[in-house]
Chain A
Amino acid sequence: MLYRTAGQFKTSYQADQALFPVRQDAVLLAVILAFAWVIFPLTASEFTFQTLLIPILIYSLAALGLNLLTGYAGQLSLGTAAFMGVGAYACYKMVTLMPWLNPIVAILFSGVFSAGVGVAFGIPSLRIKGFYLAIATLAAQFFLVWLFEKWGWLYNYNASGAIQVPNLEIFGVYVAGPQASSIVQYFVVLGVVTLLTVVCINLTRGNLGRTWKATRDMDIAAELIGINLMRSKLTAFAVSSYVVGVAGALFVFMWRGAAEPNLFDIPLSFRILFIAIIGGLGSVLGNYLGAILIVGLPVLLNTLPEALGIPISSATVEHLNIMIVGSLIVFFLIIEPHGLARLWALIREKLIIWPFPH
């Protein structure tokens, strides 16, 4: 009913290959964008910005970066958090060395550094695959976190070894640091995430994306049809690390405000990998759904007992939360092992043929 496609005729190949062959998809996206750009900023409280909207967007972007590498190009990586760290530290050094630099430019540029580091650690992927590659990227994880701890220049020799985001402004409006208001930070994050998502959708649908998918599905066959595996894998590492690095810079500059080296340790890598896997490898939408489930849901569950007026200690809530989210993950993976994005695709297909299933 909602998804009736009757009457939507395709008269050209171009129309058939369009991003939204079904009109309702475009409408749905427009509604979501309207919510993100207009309705949420008008209605959200400080708490919602800081604990739901901003973190979900940033985690989605990080997962999207990982998904390009693991989901589209088939190269398993466990070094996501370290590449985020490279982005964050690069951004920190840039804004402290060049205070006149526009913070948004700094954030977008910091991805270049993590792309470089990502390519360097992606070189082993030319020789090894699968789990063995995961171990090689694990080396990046350990090495880089060690470097963040030991290289004093990176954190300006701060006694506590942590980086603190200074107050940064664009045209007199604070966008980062303690003086910045949440709504400004939200719009910066949303703008960057929207931009990179559009770029990534186009990349994955274009020539590069097809090369990656061919590499993922069978690298020998890809080589036989003339794909340069080295270029395919290294571009995947570069683009993925770029997106992850930008996410890392946003993570510290637009949300956390301060970071210690061990923030970028392996638990964060796993968290992002889980978002990508539960959301659905090889999809763009899945990263958002995964981040909502893993980052957003626990926050909502935490506020639930108080909202319903159930007297229960906050430690118990935390234990319950871990159990509920854990079982939900298992539940979703059992009903659809390919992730939430695939689940949505199935629901959508059913809706299109409803009420007359074959």
Chain B
Amino acid sequence: MKQFKRLAAVAALGALMGTTAMAEGLSTPNLAYRTGPFAATGIPIMNGQADYMAMLNARDGGIGGIAIDFSECETGYNTEKGVECYEKTKGSAIVTQPWSTGITLQVLPKTNVDEIPILAPGYGFSPMADGAVFQWAFNTPLSYWDGASIILKYLSEMGDLNGKKVAFLHLDHPFGKEPLPYLEMKAEAMGFELLPIPVGLKEMQNQSAQWLQIRRERPDYVVLWGWGAMNAGAITEAAKTKYPMENILGVWWAGHDADLKLVGEDGKGYKSVSWSFPNPDAPVMADVKKYVIDAGKSQTNPEEMEGVFYSRGLVISAILAEGIVVAQEHAGKPDISASDLRWGLENLNLTEERLEELGLTGMVPPFSTSCSNHTGHSGGWILEWDGAKFVKASDLIMPDSEAISELEMAKAKEYAEANAPWPVNEDCQM
């Protein structure tokens, strides 16, 4: 009986506190994943995000004089935990950062009712770019369809794609299937043969069947749409089967330094598209080092700081911080609400000069958003592994916005119809 009493006491306490958790400053919770099967890729990004906000707090005392409460809620990339975290943090939050496609899918309709902006930089659902329909969702600066478009553009620069065979090795999961509609459309228009090869969640680490198929079919290029353990699996398998590395092109989540370090020299020539780039000389890196790392406020190690993913974390937080700045100017007060921040994220204008001012030179391409464009379509670079680190292999390549926005509008409309009644932004005329 005693145990039950104690349990009941804990339950009552938990229920009470769950609702009253209040924090000082602007609450920008992050649904982090430092545990679970994807932790290896999650930790550098989460560290980058947290370090940038910690740097702002230490250097400027927050943003506009108000501290940023950048708390993390651990999801382990698990959708159930993610929804739990969303419910737990949404009370005082002005933004939510769900971090997995599964969590995004679940949280997306809820944010529309709860009226909290959802910031999913470089992931989530591509039609979220249609800001008139997805009022509360932002996937700056590039969507997956943009990524696919940049890859195809880069490949056709290498030579006409007509008559070529392109294998699309992807995770059999909403994330991996996301670019398929765009690629299928383009395959028809450009005349190449698309060969989708799905990798089940259970086969991530052992892709011998898939690579056997690649060996048999001899595609000219392999487009890799993987995440977590799948990338390391694909890259080691490619090195084993002697598939030419320079013909593999990955999405930005497939450009993790640690995955390539496993094969080292053998991975030379492997490419990945990216909208962020580590620039160790950028002023922001020096500030992070001075105010956060040297002050002992972070667990980040120097090796991690050089990586692509850590800098991507910094860029993500910088985008959010810029959204807060814009929102504060518009609202005329530092203590902004969730709908103020929505306005801020919708009116971002990160020009070359502004990026310089922020100390982010060369770390992210300039872009701007509007009420009808929640992505920004910044364009991206192709990064190449030189055996020890990623280097830029191309200039900035812009996505084929026209074809994409058509597809976006059509799919966004479909989504809104399937989820009727779905409130859309009527004022947005563009």
Identify the A interface with B (CB < 8 A).
43-48, 50-52, 55, 149, 159-162, 164, 166-167, 177-179, 256-258, 260, 262-263, 265, 296, 299-300, 302-304, 306-307, 313-315, 317-319, 347, 351
Contacts and interface: CB of A to CB of B under 8 A. Distances in A.
Interface stretch (B172-180, B227-235, B258-266): B172-180
Interface stretch (B11-19, B215-223, B241-249, B361-369): B11-19
A149 B88 contact: no
B255 interface: no
Contacts of B181: 159
Contacts of B142: none
B201 A262 contact: yes
B420 A45 contact: no
Contacts of A303: 14, 17-18, 21, 88
A51 B90 CA distance: 13
Interface SS of chain A? helix
Interface stretch (B79-87, B189-197, B285-293, B374-382): B79-87
Interface string B83-105: 11001100100000000011001
Given A45-B18, A314-B73, A304 B10 contact: yes
Nearest to B420: A167
B418 A164 contact: yes
B419 A299 contact: no
A313 B110 CA distance: 26
Nearest to B127: A159
Interface in B290-342: none
Contacts of B84: 50-51, 299, 302
Nearest to B417: A166
B180 to A, nearest CB: 7
- In the A-B complex, the 8 residue pairs with the closest CB atoms: A307-B17, A178-B109, A160-B174, A315-B34, A314-B74, A45-B19, A300-B14, A318-B74
15 contacts: A149-B172, A160-B105, A160-B125, A164-B105, A164-B418, A178-B110, A258-B106, A300-B14, A303-B18, A307-B13, A307-B18, A314-B32, A315-B34, A315-B74, A318-B74
B72 interface: yes
Given A149-B172, A160-B178, A300 B11 contact: yes
B76 interface: yes
B87 A318 contact: no
A306 B92 CA distance: 15
Nearest to B174: A160
A262 B420 CA distance: 26
A319 B35 CA distance: 8
Nearest to B112: A178
Contact of B411 (A43, A159, A258): A159
For A162, A166, A302, A303, which residue has the most chain B Cβ atoms within 10 angstroms? A303
B177 A161 contact: yes
Contact of A50 (B32, B87, B177): B87
Nearest to A350: B1
Q: What class of interface size applies to chain B in its complex with A?
A: 35 or more
Interface in B4-30: 10-11, 13-19, 21
Nearest to B84: A51
A47 B88 contact: yes
Contacts of B32: 314-315
Contact of A166 (B34, B72, B101, B420): B420
A257 B105 CA distance: 9
Contact of A162 (B74, B76, B174): B174
A318 B17 contact: no
Contacts of A315: 32, 34-35, 72, 74
Contacts of B105: 160, 162, 164, 258, 260
Contacts of A179: 113, 421
Contact of A300 (B10, B34, B109, B174): B10
Contacts of B106: 256-258
A319 B88 CA distance: 19
A159 B180 contact: yes
A318 B14 CA distance: 16
Nearest to B35: A318
Contacts of A178: 109-110, 112-113, 419
| Residue among A160, A256, A262, A306 facing the most chain B CB atoms (10 A cut-off) | A160
Contacts of A319: 35
A167 B422 CA distance: 9
Nearest to A322: B35
Contacts of B174: 160-162, 260
B420 A159 contact: no
Contacts of B71: 314
A47 B411 contact: no
Contacts of A256: 79, 83, 106
A304 B418 CA distance: 39
Contacts of B80: 55
Nearest to B106: A258
B310 to A, nearest CB: 17
Contact of A257 (B76, B91, B109, B418): B109
B419 A166 contact: yes
Contacts of B19: 45, 47-48
Contacts of A317: 74
A48 B18 contact: yes
Contacts of A47: 18-19, 87-88, 91
Contact of A164 (B21, B34, B109): B109
Given A159-B180, A167-B419, A262-B201, A314 B72 contact: yes
Nearest to B175: A160
Contacts of B87: 46-47, 50-51
Interface string B163-174: 000000000111
A159 B419 contact: no
A284 B83 CA distance: 28
A143 to B, nearest CB: 14
Contacts of B16: 307
A303 B19 CA distance: 10
Nearest to A181: B113
Interface in B136-185: 172-174, 177-178, 180-181
Contacts of A260: 102, 105, 173-174
A167 B419 CA distance: 6
Interface string B190-210: 000000000001000000000
Contacts of A43: 15
Nearest to A297: B7
